[in-house]
């Protein structure tokens, strides 16, 4: 039951207009968010029929006796399930609530609003239907058994907000056991968007990825996935310094598990602290917590640095501080109120759209790289006026303040989904290939372009 609210008394701070019966303040912004989720029909998603059910004949076709006919066809040929049911366009967003946004281990019930939100984004940006599934289990084996048993229902699995290292175990096992795409967005979504941003930083600064000296602050799921994909782009593993709360990850150091170990520096590497690592670095990517990078560290970086401070809501270093300290830098954050927002919504809806439309059995590295390159290429194109108006009317042009497309750019759908579908076909994971040009044209129409 929702807590009862009472009017704020004069003794309460002016920014809070209500309090719970436990004495916790409810500010106007908090109340607006609660009202948004509660008013009308609670939550953010619903199921609606896609066929008419208004007459007795409609009912007889939708259920008994008519429903027996597609059942018979699917029983004879399993692939017919994609022809006669919603499975082809249905994704499961699955979480156990152990690593939710910046909230941590809040459990599966409290994670549900986030999973419903993810469902809304799938539908809004790529017209993909979603069932959000919250599982009350922390044991990786229980998650693996539960999720793998759902394969008859879904065309794809989007894992969400499962803490490391369990997320690595679960995703790897499910990818091996299931014949549909399995994608942990906390890992690969961030990796794909940052890869696109990095490609354009290199293009703008006339650099080669192989020459970059990279500092990765954080060693969790998204950090490791980002570095793995950046290596696929050409960044050299030996040029990456990864740090965690104990400092630089080094051979023999305590707390270096099997997932961090591939990024461990040699024992004789004299760089032990984050400050040591940042000196003369070309790229800093932060996937840790707010306020961990003082201005002095940014000042110590090499010429024309790239700074991706992605902790949310508070970056490792505030955008304005980074730009003031290094006017020659290209800076990105995870925030929407500054240029170059790294937002996963640029990735997962369109990656799944392309994968589902060719009945892909997996989302492989080639498909991820295709998505990253498509996003990078799109950012170099002139920005349509409707996108400019959606973001306040100020000019948006490819450069240091615009290295990745905006989420409300409708062109992302045909650009990214087509690239993903094409990569799926080229790598042999597409079960139902499409004509690329016809497919691009179909998505362009779907996007209203």
Pairing status of strand 240-244 against strand 247-248: antiparallel
Q: Active site includes 63?
A: yes
Residues with Cβ within 8 Å of residue 63, at least 6 apart in sequence? none
CB under 8 Å to 227, separation ≥6 — which residues?
Answer: 214, 216, 235, 240, 242, 263
Find, among 272, 274, 184, 259, the residue nearest to 224 by Cα. Answer: 259
Query: Which residues neighbour 365 within 8 Å (Cβ) at sequence distance 6 or greater?
Result: 229, 232
Catalytic residue flag (residue 319): no
The interaxial angle of helices 348-357 and 107-126, nearest 10 deg, is: 70
* Gap between the Cα atoms of 348 and 192, Å rounded: 9
Order across the sheet with 5-7: list the strands: 5-7, 18-20, 25-26
**Catalytic one among 44, 76, 84, 118?**
118
Of the residues 36, 63, 368, 398, only one is catalytic, namely: 63
3-class secondary structure, 430: strand
Q: Which of 375, 48, 38 is nearest to 233 (CA)?
A: 375
202: nearest Cα among 410, 419, 392, 380: 380
* Partners of 399 in beta bridges: 402
- CA 433 to chain CA centroid, Å, is 26
Instruction: Judge contact between 408 and 385, C-beta under 8 A.
Output: no
Query: How far apart are alpha carbons 190 and 168 in whole angstroms?
Result: 15
Active-site residue list: 63, 118
């Amino acid at each position: 039951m929702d807590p009862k609210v009472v009017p704020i008394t004069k003794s309460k701070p002016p920014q809070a207009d209500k309090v719970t019966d436990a004495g916790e303040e409810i500010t106007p912004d908090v109340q607006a968010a609660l009202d948004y989720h509660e008013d009308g029909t609670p939550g953010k998603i619903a199921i609606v029929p896609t066929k008419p059910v208004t007459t007795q004949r409609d009912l007889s076709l939708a259920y008994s006796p008519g429903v027996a006919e597609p059942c018979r066809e699917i029983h004879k040929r399993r692939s017919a399930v994609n022809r006669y049911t919603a499975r082809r366009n249905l994704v499961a967003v699955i979480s156990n609530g152990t690593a939710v946004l910046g909230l941590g281990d809040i459990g599966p019930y409290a994670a549900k609003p986030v999973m419903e939100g993810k469902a809304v984004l799938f539908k809004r940006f790529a017209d993909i239907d979603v069932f959000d599934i919250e599982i009350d289990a922390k044991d990786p084996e229980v998650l693996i058994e539960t999720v793998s048993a759902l394969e008859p229902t879904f065309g794809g699995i989007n894992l969400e907000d499962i803490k490391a290292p369990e997320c690595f175990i679960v995703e790897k096992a499910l990818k091996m056991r299931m014949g549909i795409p399995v994608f942990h967005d906390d890992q690969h979504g961030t990796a794909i968007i940052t890869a696109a941003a990095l490609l354009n930083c290199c293009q703008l600064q006339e650099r080669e990825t192989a020459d970059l000296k990279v500092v990765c602050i954080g060693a969790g799921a998204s950090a490791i996935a980002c570095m793995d994909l950046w290596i696929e782009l050409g960044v050299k593993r030996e040029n990456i310094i990864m740090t965690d709360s104990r400092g630089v990850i080094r051979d023999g150091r305590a707390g270096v598990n099997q997932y961090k170990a591939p990024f461990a520096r040699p024992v004789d590497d004299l760089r032990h602290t984050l400050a040591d690592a940042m000196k003369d670095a070309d790229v800093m990517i932060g996937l840790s917590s707010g306020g961990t990078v003082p201005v002095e560290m940014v000042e110590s970086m090499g010429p024309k640095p790239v700074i991706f401070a992605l902790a949310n809501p508070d970056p490792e270093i505030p955008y304005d501080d980074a730009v003031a300290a290094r006017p020659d830098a290209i800076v990105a954050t995870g925030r929407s109120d500054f240029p170059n927002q790294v937002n996963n919504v640029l990735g997962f809806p369109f990656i799944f759209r392309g994968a589902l439309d060719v009945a892909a059995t997996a989302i492989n590295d080639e498909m991820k790289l295709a998505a990253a390159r498509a996003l990078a290429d799109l950012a170099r194109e002139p920005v349509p006026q409707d996108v400019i108006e959606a973001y306040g009317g100020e000019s948006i042009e490819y450069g240091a303040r615009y290295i990745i497309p905006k989420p409300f750019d409708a062109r992302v759908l045909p650009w990214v989904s087509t690239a993903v579908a094409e990569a799926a076909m080229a790598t042999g994971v597409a079960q139902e290939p499409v004509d690329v040009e016809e497919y691009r044209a179909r998505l362009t129409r779907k996007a209203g372009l």
